[in-house]
Amino acid sequence: MISLRRAALPLAPLAALLVVSCSSEPTRVEEPQDGPSQIHLTAADVVDAVPVAEPLARYGNHSPYEVFGKKYYVLPSNSGYHERGTASWYGSKFHGRRTSSGEPYDMHLATAAHKTLPLPSYAEVTNLDNGKKVIVKINDRGPFKHDRLIDMSYGAALRLGMTDTGTARVDVRVIDVGEYHPTVSYNVSDQSSPEDTGGTWLQVGAYGRREGAEKLAGQLEKASLNPVSIHDVDDLFRVWLGPYWSAAEVDSVISRAIELGFERPHRVRR
């Protein structure tokens, strides 16, 4: 199933327009405006997506599909994909809606939309105007303007420094998950607390030995549950996820952790 979140009007407004076209008094149908997040978010708050092997999404990979009368053919593989073009971004108007792959769109995460790459794919995107980079999970379809290559989430656009300009010249290089070996460094602190940064923290486990905490942190990272950090509090190494800046994001992380077989994360009390 292809999500036409930016490609077409919903059926109800479309029907309204058809009625209006036959009426002597035209009525204007207002669409909500897109824009940035209502919470304070900086580029430093947005972490790279962690490439992990996943099956193709049940939705969003039908080929060909048609938008605005034009057919698009999903690539049989993302192997070796490397292209340059124009990136745009999308935000609050689509926050919480389903992406083409079926996942909820969270504008605060590093994700992106692409017309033809298989869903999901992972890619490193570089802003050619300032050199800033971000790793994104491509889980949506679009943008459907002829001169656009990729549509970045608001969070990914913050990382690329393109939220003010709206568009940017970018280099998109797909990451081969099988060859991806990130260098992971977990933050271990005996002073960090939820009050230090704000947002919502989720605790997934607590251990008397650092080795146990690091093992769990690695499993969470591999499962793309992030950001992960380890905090030495009250003689226990506590594994935290976050901080997160919206209730939708918190609920999504908790649900995904349970689905993947982890203990139910609980909110850290302030």
Bridge partners of 172, per DSSP, are: 83, 125
Q: 11-179 — its CATH code? A: 2.40.40.10
**Mean pLDDT across the chain:** 82
Contacts of 44 (CB under 8 A, 6+ apart): none
Confidence class for position 38, pLDDT limits 50, 70, 90? confident
Closest CA to 216 of 255, 269, 263: 263
> Which of the four pLDDT bands, split at 50, 70 and 90, describes residue 27?
very low
Q: What pLDDT does residue 245 have?
A: 83
| pLDDT surpasses 90 at 39 | no
pLDDT at residue 57, rounded to an integer: 94
- At 137 the pLDDT is 95
3-state helix, strand, coil in the chain (%, to 5): 20, 25, 50
Question: Spelled out in words, what is the top-level CATH class assigned to the domain 188-267?
Answer: alpha beta
Higher pLDDT, residue 54 or 199: 54
Q: Is the pLDDT of residue 86 over 90?
A: yes
Q: Which residue has the tokens 């048609």?
A: 66
pLDDT value for 263: 86
Q: What is the DSSP string of 98-122?
A: B-TTSSBP-TTSSEEEESSS-SSEE
pTM for the full predicted model: 0.61
- Alpha-carbon distance of 33 to 87, in angstroms, equals 19
pLDDT value at residue 155: 93
Q: In this structure, what token pair is assigned to residue 98? A: 């389903």
Max avg pLDDT among 20-29, 42-51, 99-108: 99-108
Residue environment code for 213-229, b if the CB has 16+ CB neighbours within 10 A, otherwise e: bbebbebbbebbbbbbb
- Within the chain, which residue ranges are assigned CATH 3.30.70.1070? 188-267
Long-range CB pairs of 65-74 (<8 Å, 24+ gap) are 65/2, 65/141, 67/2, 67/4, 67/7, 67/8, 67/144, 68/7, 68/8, 68/144, 70/144, 72/115, 72/116, 73/116, 74/116, 74/117, 74/118
Is residue 2 over pLDDT 70? no
Predicted local distance difference test score (pLDDT) of residue 251: 86
pLDDT digits (tens, 9 = 90+) for 180-234: 765 444 444 444 555 555 688 999 988 888 888 888 998 998 888 888 998 887 7
